[in-house]
Amino acid sequence: MLIKIKIMKQFIYTLFIAAVALPVLQACYKDEGSYLYNDINEIIISGIADEYETMDGRLTITPVLTSTLAQNENDYTYEWIIFKKGGSAPIAVTFATTRNLDNQALGVPIHVNPYEIRYRITDKNTGVKFEKIFRAKVSTMISSGFLVMNDIDGEMRLDMLSYYAVDGVSRYHYMRDVLSSAGCNLPPQQGPIKIVSFRRTAFLGSDATQNWMVLFLITKTGTHRLHYTTLQLNETTGIKGLFQRPIYYPSDIDIDNILYGNSTLMHTTNGNLYHYYTQWMATLFGLPVNTLTGGAPYFRASPLAAGIDGMSGMWLVFDEDTKSFYRLGSDTDVTPTRCVKLPTGTLTSYENMGKDLEFVDYINFNGVGNRYLAVLKGDANDYWCLRLTAPNMGMGGFVQDKWQQINATDIAQAKFFAVTPSAGNGSNIYYAVGSKIYAYNIENMQTYLVFDKPGEIITFFGRVSNDFFVATYDESTKVGTLGRYTVPVLPNQLQLLVTPAPAEQPVICSEFGKIVSVVNK
């Protein structure tokens, strides 16, 4: 009986719900399509390029606006927003509220990277916003290109092969004595040695461009730091400002080389090496690292060394006293303070080799590791090649895979050495003799002539920005020529690089003096 009553109650309740829901469902069905739908105005923005370059920090842009509905452009509001660089994130600043830009100042400083700009339109009637995102690079004629250090009768002159656009076409332009053009007050410098550019951690002051990029001129007169963007003399945060403590800075410091591989090695004429980790941490130069004990005694280090990008403990350094290779730090040393001995070599010993180091460099090997390639010279004028592989970005140590004598054409007269600039297997050694450049393949042990400019001498040869740069000099006319070359498959000659269309300009210039160093800017 109780069960029957419960069933009856459930039936009556279900019937009641169905009776109430049916009219509601019918009302919903009958109401379908009874609303009025109005199209909103949509604005299509065109006539704005993806990127602009301005030399004076101003832009003129007349956007083309196409609307889907007939509407007066006075019904819109306009914003031009630029994202300033600084701090941990860009800062959005509205620099104009007009439909067009007419020689409008952007209000931002010169920077090595383009700024993001947003052109935003708001429909006053609907509040709907439309925008176009593009970029603008604020630069000068000295913002990008290649800085070229010349020796003019013993005195340094800095020229530039500057890359910028004229009438929308980007090409290289020669600039003589760029420091004078920039208004730099650097005193005359004797004995030009090298120009160096590298990246470092931004922690000195608020100028991110200045802090991320470092530019040094090394001469026999001294080493000077320049502001990367403006090329103005910046001695307040020069070499001394890159030491952890003033007491570590040698008063008689005499620098002859600076090497960069995401950490930095600085070499002085007395054979000391100073290490500076530049990638993630604000670790400055400290005490010399050319030691096996973390302090005295110090061995005399070669000014030649090679390191892997991003790995501070993967520098391969050479002890000129004992003719030995060491490694700077270990796998776990983020900021190494000493060198360590290498494991016993399988092809030759790393220690007491009895040979002088003539050249050493590294090359990315198929994107999975790195190879080091060194050229050494024996007392009998015999040349040897040592090639090492550093598996797993060096975390697997060093593995010798080649140790052989080099029997190459005129290698005893070689002045400059280089390895393949772009990714490869490190099988070719390039070297310059007089007016010629040879390539020696260590696999088939053959020598190939890949460049020759009779009547001139090669004064600089090396890899810059993943290409070979060759500088020749005519003693009779006192004119230097600089060319940028790609590296073809042997036995083909070096190929002169040509800029992209529409300029299609061969990258070569014969306006220089005796070139001793080239760096990308």
pLDDT per residue over 244-290, tens digit each? 777 788 888 899 998 876 677 888 999 999 987 654 445 678 889 99
Which range (39-43, 132-136, 467-471) has the least confidence? 39-43
* Predicted local confidence at residue 199, as pLDDT: 63
DSSP secondary structure code for residue 331 in this structure? T
* Predicted local confidence at residue 285, as pLDDT: 82
Whole-model pTM?
0.78
User: Which amino acid would we find at residue 452?
Assistant: D
Q: What domains can be seen in the chain, in order of their start residue?
A: 43-138 (2.60.40), 145-457 (2.130.10)
* Predicted local confidence at residue 421, as pLDDT: 66
Instruction: State how far the Cα of 449 lies from the Cα of 374, in Å rounded to an integer.
Output: 21
* Predicted local confidence at residue 423, as pLDDT: 53
CA distances from 86 to 176, 206, 240, 248 (A): 33, 8, 25, 31
Give the mean model confidence (pLDDT) for residues 488-493. Answer: 87
For the cut 80, the answer to whether the pLDDT of residue 158 exceeds it is yes
* Predicted local confidence at residue 18, as pLDDT: 43
Both tokens of 282, joined, read 């604000």
Confidence of residue 354 (pLDDT cuts 50, 70, 90): very high
Residue 329: Cβ-neighbour burial (10 angstroms; 0-12, 13-18, 19+): buried
Q: Could you tell me which residue, 304 or 262, shows the higher pLDDT?
A: 304
Give the mean model confidence (pLDDT) for residues 410-437. Answer: 88
Residue by residue, DSSP assigns 163-203 as: EEEETTEEEEEEESSHHHHTT--PPP-BSEEEEEEEE----
